[in-house]
Amino acid sequence: MSRVITIGAAQLGPIQKAESRAQVVARMLVLMHQAKAKGCGLIVFPELALTTFFPRWYSEDQDEIDAWFEETLPGPETEPLFAAARELGMAFHLGYAEKIVEEGTLRRFNTAVLVDAGGEIVAKYRKVHLPGHDEYDPERAHQHLEKRYFEVGNLGFPVWRALGGIVGMCICNDRRWPETYRVMGLQGVELVLLGYNTPTVNSQSDEAPHLRAFHNLLSMQAGAYQNSTWVVGVAKAGDEDGHELMGGSAIIAPSGEIVAQCRTLGDELAVADCDLEATRFGKETIFDFARHRRIEHYGLITERTGAEPPP
Q: Which residues are annotated as catalytic?
A: 47, 127, 172
In the bound state with ligand ING, the residue whose beta carbon lies nearer, of 12 and 88, is: 12
Give dist(CA 92, CA 8) in Å, integer.
Answer: 9
Q: Measuring CA to CA, which residue among 280, 272, 297 is closest to residue 4?
A: 272
- Cβ(55)–Cβ(91) under 8 Å? no
**196 touches ligand ING by CB under 6 A:** yes
We find the least distance from the C-beta atom of residue 222 to ligand ING, in angstroms, to be 15
Q: Which one of 51, 173, 227, 261 is in contact with ligand ING (CB under 6 A)?
A: 173
211 CB-near residues (< 8 Å, 6+ apart)? none
In the bound state with ligand ING, the residue whose beta carbon lies nearer, of 47 and 190, is: 47
Kindly write out the interface string for residues 116-145 of this chain, putting x where it contacts ligand ING by CB under 6 A and - elsewhere.
---------------x--------------
Give the range of 64-72, 92-100, 169-177, 224-232 binding ligand ING by CB under 6 A: 169-177
Instruction: Indicate the helix (H) or strand (E) that contains 267.
Output: none
**Rg, the chain, Cα only:** 19
Cα of first residue to Cα of last residue in the chain, in angstroms, is 56
233 CB-near residues (< 8 Å, 6+ apart)? 9, 175, 194, 195, 196, 216, 220, 248, 249, 250, 252
Of residues 198-257, those binding ligand ING (CB under 6 A): 198
Of residues 40-99, those binding ligand ING (CB under 6 A): none
We find the least distance from the C-beta atom of residue 212 to ligand ING, in angstroms, to be 6
**178 touches ligand ING by CB under 6 A:** no
- Residues near ligand ING (CB under 6 A) are 131, 172-173, 176, 196-198
